[in-house]
């Protein structure tokens, strides 16, 4: 399980959760549809929006559909630094370009058969990170696939093990900054927005072919002190993780 970092500065953009240092946390250790279920930690009344075939199996989110979007409501507040993270496992039965993703979404996400790359401007990823089943990765500042900041090529990340995807949104300046990492290694370049994005949710998506497993585990959204954010994504290494 991921446990929250103690002693984090609090600048929540949503109503306080049971743990003041965490906005959202979910280990998915329940059985049933993800849609309509509440995360382990989150504001009162907040639930996941997802397609009916996205299920928790007692350990993970797992499904084999082509394209799915799963999200929780979230609106950032200026003056904070937010880190979203999730563990994903690539399916070793396929080396395709299909992908898992993590990120912040536009102001009005709705269609759970979309991915962060598709949909209208107010639904798509705004910034977000993808990890392909062939081991390549890309960071986009959004919307959708706009503002591609780069990433490593095929074979960088191996299959059948968990990798931690992390996206950081820094709203402490007049112009917000987005950055991303996998397993603590930066992916692409930080992006400074000329126009700050409108964000209404945070979550994950998949895209590509069906017939193999998409697996997500240990979703977390935390606010971080600016001093820790300036050190990069190393703060995430303070968290303990389960590897299924």
Chain mean pLDDT for the chain: 85
User: Do residues 127 and 197 touch, judged by C-beta distance below 8 A?
Assistant: yes
- pLDDT, position 225: 61
- pLDDT, position 143: 93
Residue 232, pLDDT > 60, answer no
Distances (CA, A) of 166 to 79, 88, 185, 237: 20, 11, 10, 11
Higher-pLDDT residue of 28 and 18 is 28
Element (H, E) at 71: strand 68-73
> Is 74-208+219-231 in CATH node 2.60.120?
yes
Range from 8-22, 102-116, 182-196, 201-215 that averages highest in pLDDT: 182-196
User: Do residues 205 and 115 touch, judged by C-beta distance below 8 A?
Assistant: yes
| pLDDT tens per residue, range 59-89 | 999 998 888 999 999 999 999 999 999 999 9
168 vs 179: CA distance, rounded Å:
5
Range from 7-11, 94-98, 165-169 that averages highest in pLDDT: 165-169
| 226 SS3 class | helix
- pLDDT, position 231: 39
Residue 57: asked if its preceding bond is cis (omega within 30°), the reply is no
Q: Where are the domains of the chain?
A: 74-208+219-231
pTM confidence score: 0.85
| 235 SS3 class | helix
197 vs 94: CA distance, rounded Å:
34
229: phi then psi, degrees, rounded to nearest 5: -65, -35
């Amino acid at each position: 399980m991921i446990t929250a970092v103690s002693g984090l500065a609090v600048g929540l953009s949503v109503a306080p959760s049971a743990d003041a240092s965490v906005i959202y946390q979910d280990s998915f250790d329940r059985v049933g549809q993800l849609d309509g279920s509440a995360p382990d930690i989150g504001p009162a009344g907040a639930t996941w929006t997802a397609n009916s075939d996205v299920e928790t199996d007692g350990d993970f989110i797992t499904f084999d559909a082509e394209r799915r979007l799963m999200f929780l409501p979230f609106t950032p507040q200026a003056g904070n630094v937010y880190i979203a993270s999730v563990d994903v496992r690539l399916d070793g039965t396929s080396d395709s370009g299909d992908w898992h993703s993590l990120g912040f979404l536009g102001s009005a996400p709705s269609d759970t058969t979309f991915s962060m790359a598709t949909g209208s401007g107010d639904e798509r990823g705004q910034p977000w990170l993808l990890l392909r089943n062939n081991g390549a990765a890309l960071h986009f500042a959004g919307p959708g696939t706009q503002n591609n900041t780069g990433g490593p090529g095929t074979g960088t990340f191996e299959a059948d093990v968990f990798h931690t995807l992390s996206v950081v949104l820094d709203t402490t300046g007049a112009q917000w900054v987005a950055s991303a990492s996998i397993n603590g290694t930066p992916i692409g370049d930080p992006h400074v927005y000329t126009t700050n994005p409108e964000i209404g949710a945070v979550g994950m998506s998949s895209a590509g072919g069906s017939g193999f497993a998409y697996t997500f585990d240990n979703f977390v959204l935390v606010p971080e002190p600016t001093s820790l954010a300036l050190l990069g994504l190393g703060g995430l290494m303070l968290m303990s993780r389960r590897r299924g």
